[in-house]
Structures are given as structure tokens and as C-alpha cells.
Amino acid sequence: MSGPVTTSVLFDAPGPRARLRNNALTLLALIGIAAIAYLVYLRFDEKHQWEGRIWEPFTESATWTGYIIPGLLGTLKAAGLSAVFALVFGSVFGLARLSDHRWIRVSAGAVVEVFRSIPLLLLIFFLFFLAPSVFGGGDYTLIALVAGLTLYNGSVLAEVVRAGVLAVPKGQSEAAYAIGFRKNQVMRLVLLPQAVTAMMPAIVSQLVVLLKDTALGYIIAYVDLLNYGFRVLPARFFGSLIPAAIVIGVIYVGLNMTLSALATWLERRSRRSRRTSVKPIPATADIGE
């Protein structure tokens, strides 16, 4: 005997006419996308952007070793430093927002809300022009970029940490208190191990945003992948702007996909090694975008 048929109150199964209409609309959409792609191809072809001589620099090892790889290393350096500092910032201020002391909780909340609400580009500009006035002359592009990314993304991660800890059922902490654990032991041994697993998707989503936001260093002339791809390479090889944009875009896509795959592997591994009743925290909305 077949099992009961389950239906959703939010979605009605389409009938024959609805399926035919949906298939027709899908086909029209695909034709429209193909037409737009063909028009873009023709426009690029009119500008001779598909000629081999324009793409030839990207087949030479000197282009990669002298431009793309140094720019990639600059991007990874800024992203790595910002990710570490943002995770530390988010952990400290996220836990501070859960403090029993009102002055700590309110102060941490004010810091998080201020830096989470300031547009990231404005924050980077402010730090870049403020640093020479405070510390004297020098190259502060990396410092301004890392500091801006840390303050902004760390504030978002602070909310993720707070939500992850609060998502753990209260019975977990109550049971820990019942067997004599102190508050720091409850947080360190009971709440955080479960919360980290729940927070992983949101943390990774924010780190992907952080990696993409390193491209804002282009505005303050930080030597990164975008700077080399859009400023140095087209100036060195005249007419190679579109090929450079495509190559740089593919590299960024590869970096983000690698980070997402690594996070997925870590989440699965942590869930196999630890059972938790906490549901994953969804990715937070990127305020300012």
C-alpha cells in the first residue's frame, strides 16, 4: 500500500496547462539570455576583443609571475589578515553582548551597531586618510583595508556569534549549571562547541563577502588582484581590459568556490564528530549593499 500523499499549503502542484506555460516561459527566457549573450559577443567582436593578440599576454608565464600571482598574493594577504582579525573581533564583541554586566553589553552593542552601519568604502577611506595624520607619512593602504574589513565584517560576525549562542536550547546551559559548572565553563564547554557548528554557514558566507570586499582596495591603490588586472595589465598590454576582466573574474570565482567547499567540508566533519540540537544560523544580510 502506498504511503499518504503529502501536499504543501504554500504550493499547489501545477497542472498540465501550468506546466506547459512554465516550460514555455523557461524556453523564452533561455532564448532571451542567449540573444543577449550573442549581442555582447558581437559588440566585443567589433572592438576586436576576441583576437588572439589581445589574449596572448595571458599565455605567457611572465604575465602570471610578474602581475597576476603578485596581485593574487596581495588579495590573499589582505583577506587572510582581515579574516583572522574579524573572527577575533566578532567573537569578543559577540560574547560581550551576552555579558551579565549591562555596561559591557551596551558598550559592545554600540560598537557593533556603529561599525555595521557605516558603508565599508567610507570606512576604508576614513582610515586611509586618517592614518597619515596620526602616524605620519607612509604607505597605509594595507592597514586601512585590513582595518576597515575587520571592523565591518567583525561587527557582522559578532551578531552571528551572539545568535549562535542564543540558538542553543536553554536546557543545555541549565543542565550544566545543575552539575556545578561555572558560567565560563558553560560557555566554553557546552554552548560554544554547539554554537560553532550552527554558525558555520553564516561565518563562511561572511568570509566570502570579506574576500570579495578586498577588491575595494583598488580605490586606495592597494596592490591586489583587481589593481593588477584593471590598472597595471591594461596599461602594460594596450587593449586587454576585457580579457583581463574575464581572467580576474574567473580567479575570484575560483577563490570563493574553494572557500565555500572548504567550509562545507569543515561543517560536515564537525557535525560527524559532534551531535548538536542547534539548527544552522542562516547567512546574515550584508548591510550597506
Domain membership of residue 203 (yes or no) is: yes
What are residue 11's DSSP bridge partners? Answer: 8
What is the reported pLDDT for 153?
94
What is the reported pLDDT for 256?
85
Domain membership of residue 65 (yes or no) is: no
Domain membership of residue 60 (yes or no) is: no
The boundaries of the domain holding residue 112 are: 75-273
pLDDT level of residue 221 (50, 70, 90 thresholds):
confident
Q: How many structural domains compose the chain?
A: 1
Distance CA 116, CA 122 (A): 12
Taking only Cα atoms into account, the Rg of the chain, rounded to an integer number of angstroms, comes to 25
Any idea what DSSP says for residue 7?
A: -
What is the reported pLDDT for 288?
44
What is the reported pLDDT for 132?
84
Domain membership of residue 46 (yes or no) is: no
Closest by Cα among 210, 189, 256, 265 to 89: 210
Distance CA 16, CA 28 (A): 18
- Burial label for 161, CB within 10 Å (0-12, 13-18, 19+), is buried
Is the pLDDT higher at 259 or at 85? Answer: 85
Amino acid identity for residue 12 in this structure: D
Q: Which of 50-54, 98-102, 225-229, 253-257 has the lowest mean pLDDT?
A: 50-54
Domain membership of residue 166 (yes or no) is: yes
Domain membership of residue 173 (yes or no) is: yes
Distance CA 82, CA 255 (A): 16
What CATH number should be reported for the domain holding residue 127?
1.10.3720.10
What are residue 8's DSSP bridge partners? Answer: 11
pLDDT digits (tens, 9 = 90+) for 80-125: 999 999 999 998 998 888 888 889 889 999 999 999 888 998 999 8
Distance CA 99, CA 82 (A): 25
Q: Is the pLDDT of residue 287 over 60?
A: no
Q: Is the pLDDT of residue 17 over 80?
A: yes
What is the reported pLDDT for 1?
45
pLDDT digits (tens, 9 = 90+) for 208-219: 889 989 988 888
